[in-house]
A = this chain, B = another copy of it.
Amino acid sequence: MIRVGIYGATGYTGIELAKIFARHPEVEIKFATSDSYVGKKLSEAFPCHFDIPLVAHDAAPLDRIDVAFLALPHGASADYGKRVLDAGASVIDLSADFRLHDAAAYKKWYGLDHHAPELLPQAVYGLPELHRDQIKKTKLLANPGCYPTSVILGLAPIWRANATNDTIIVDSKSGVSGAGRKATDIVHFVQVNENLSPYNIGRVHRHLSEMEQELKLVNPKASLIFSPHLLPVTRGILSTMYVRLTDGWDENRLRQLYAETYCNEPFVRILPSGQFATLTHSNYTNYCTISIHHVADVNQVIICASIDNLIKGASGQAVQNMNLMFGISETTGLL
């Protein structure tokens, strides 16, 4: 059994971890922490049936776990991550703290001095489809952001194949759970319901840093415009991506490229011609669903990629990474 601890169990990703662990045959939860609900049970902090007791972050018994999942705000994650590593356990961090390899970039995008820059070299960006081998060996895993998971999986084959030289347009739409559990004007039901809101569009959203870091690994010319929109749904991200192709590409060759890239991936699904990736394809699963639409007369391709932002975009991918790090079957608990 893998002995796990959850930091920040009462946020949406923390609760999702509890749900996944309830079905995971190899995991035992040793502790769950909270800021606001110390002394209560998870079922008192959220309408669910998990009577897991909640302790203060600082009361977590680090000697009893093999791995800690950090579902904490950025900044806080780096601190606790350090502490967990010092205690000898592994870290799977769902915040942004260890995603960017460069502390200066972190400061630029997140406005904070990094709390543990010395750990950055050992952190692995936990997208199994790109970095499976490093993931298996690391003790410090940076779980990718939700938008970047959909975008990087959707675009990596294109860039790898040098199929574009141009700025790519990424028009993304996300459910509200991506904005977190804190009550703000932005997530008021009346504000979101029957509405659709673009925000931080262009080249200003923090997740852009992560996308470009990863995509430049496969192709240094990678450049994006990224436009997130807030959808009136609880879960799910759909990214619609517009790529101007270099010469010589058609629908068949594109389909072959994606099929080859992902044929052995348990959680990436390429839809057959004529089908469109939707939120429903991926919600409540750990899949990234991708559809490919060549626009012949302007030689562009539209890639649609959907994920569940709380599963493949957060807690499911975190468990997929844990499975890899602990040498058990990658899909355990995730089907």
Residues of A whose CB lies within 8 Å of any CB of B are: 12, 22-23, 47-49, 167, 169, 171, 173, 175-177, 181, 183-185, 187-199, 201-203, 223, 225, 227, 229, 231-236, 238, 240, 242, 269, 276-281, 283-285, 287, 289, 291, 293-295, 297-298, 300, 302, 304, 335
Contact = CB atoms under 8 A, between A and B. Distances in A.
B240 A171 contact: yes
A300 B201 CA distance: 12
A279 B240 contact: no
Most buried by B among A181, A193, A236: A193
Interface of A is mostly: mixed
A293 B202 contact: yes
A183 B181 contact: no
A261 B152 CA distance: 39
B335 A194 contact: no
A323 to B, nearest CB: 15
B189 A232 contact: yes
A291 B281 CA distance: 32
A299 to B, nearest CB: 10
Contacts of A202: 293-295, 302
B190 A177 contact: yes
B189 A280 contact: no
Given A183-B187, A335-B22, A194 B233 contact: yes
Most buried by B among A167, A189, A192, A233: A189
A297 B227 CA distance: 15
A50 to B, nearest CB: 10
Nearest to A291: B198
